[in-house]
Amino acid sequence: ALEAAHGLQRFTLNANIERLNTLGYPALVTFQLGGDTGVRRLAYLGRVGNIGLFGSKDLLQIPLDVIDPVWDRTATLLWKNFESLPETLARHDRGEAVMWLQVILRQMGFLNELEAPLYGPQTEKAVKQFQRVHELETTGKLDRQTQLFLYNHLDAYPIPKLADEGEPQPTG
């Protein structure tokens, strides 16, 4: 319901805390607590040193070494595809989405050529460079994970961010 009401999409990945911090989006994480407690889901909101900031009804500050053994490494992000990009853009694709990507890559310093409606070798090279810089799988294709990183590095879109590192805030 939340997704449809706000035009959001789910992106699920296997990650560690460092990867979630690199993505920069809040994420829903699942913990297997065992016994009568069972499965719990919390929103990962950021970290301060070795303390994870998690949300439920209240802000929870939990040492990451406590989280590590009970987290299954699955994280779900809700994100918005502001430009309605296809699931993947790759070499030989054509159209407005390709031109938008080229403009953004040029603005970010990854592409030197003017935009054209074809996803050619220079666009592929620029996407690979962007992926390497952000420690993504280097395919040269604009896949969903690369799109998440791209949107997150643009100021033009209202992207939710993780809490900045600083002092933990007192809880309740």
Q: What is the pLDDT along the chain (172 residues), one digit of tens a residue?
A: 566 777 888 899 888 888 888 888 889 998 877 666 677 888 999 888 899 999 888 888 989 998 888 888 999 988 889 999 999 999 999 999 999 999 999 999 999 988 789 999 999 999 999 999 998 999 999 999 999 999 988 888 887 777 765 544 544 4
Q: Which residues contact 9 (CB under 8 A, 6 or more apart)?
A: 3, 78, 79, 80, 81
DSSP per-residue letters across 33-82: --TTT-EEEEEEEEEETTEEEEESSSEEEEEHHHHTTTEEEEEEEEEE-T
Are 62 and 52 contacting, i.e. CB atoms less than 8 angstroms apart?
A: yes
Report how far residue 15's alpha carbon sits from residue 94's, in angstroms, rounded to the nearest whole number: 32
30-48 pLDDT, tens digit per residue, is 887 766 667 788 899 988 8
CB 147 within 8 A of CB 157: no
pTM of the model: 0.80
Q: Among 144, 10, 8, 5, which Cα is nearest to 74's?
A: 10
